Amino acid sequence: MKICIDAGHGGDDPGALGTTPFRFEEKVFTLALATRLEEELESRGHWVVMTRRQDRTLSLAARAAFANRMGADLLLSLHANGAPEPEVEGIEVFHFPGSAAGQRLGGQVLGALVASFPDHLNRGLRSATFAVLRDTTMPALLVECEFLTNPKQLRFLSNAENWDRLAQAIAAGLEPERLGG
């Protein structure tokens, strides 16, 4: 499968910001996770293209257009969430409303993440009209790996070992046996 990985945010857009007990930006997390996910997916026989490989600003329209131009079979947009309340936590996956393939793949990826991190809250599979989901011609998923604004989850998301574990879980959700093939 040809998979386009989108490391959310970047450049002038830091995304969510964790500040307690230390400062950590979503754009740093997403690029690190994207790099590891690329390696993991390629080791499993997938062809991967990346919307960005460095800290640069990239519009939402450009991200979707790139995935379309590359003829990807799936877009995975990687994110970390934020909330005004520090106790909010959990993993969630979004797909475009009415996309049966997006819903199926999103459920599989969420299931693999929850199985790999059973102590994390499952916030569920949700539909949304985010630009990267709406403007692509292929199924697309937006994966919110946790909340940077939660001090415990900030530590989790800033740990390089967890980047590898998250990449393995996301990739496991796309394995052929999970896809019915």
Catalytic residues: 144
Q: Is 179 helix (H, G, I), strand (E, B) or coil?
A: helix
Calpha distance 179→181 (Å, rounded): 6
- Identify the CA nearest to 53 among candidates 17, 5, 12: 5
Length of the chain: 181
Amino acid present at 129? T
92: its two tokens: 């969630």
* 90 conformational bin, left if phi > 0, alpha if psi -120 to 50, beta if neither: left
Q: Which two tokens stand for residue 83?
A: 């909330």
Q: Name the DSSP letter for residue 122.
A: E
Q: Which of 51, 98, 57 is nearest to 72 (CA)?
A: 51
Strands (E), 97-163: 122-127, 140-147
Q: Distance between CA atoms of 30 and 52, rounded to whole angstroms?
A: 10
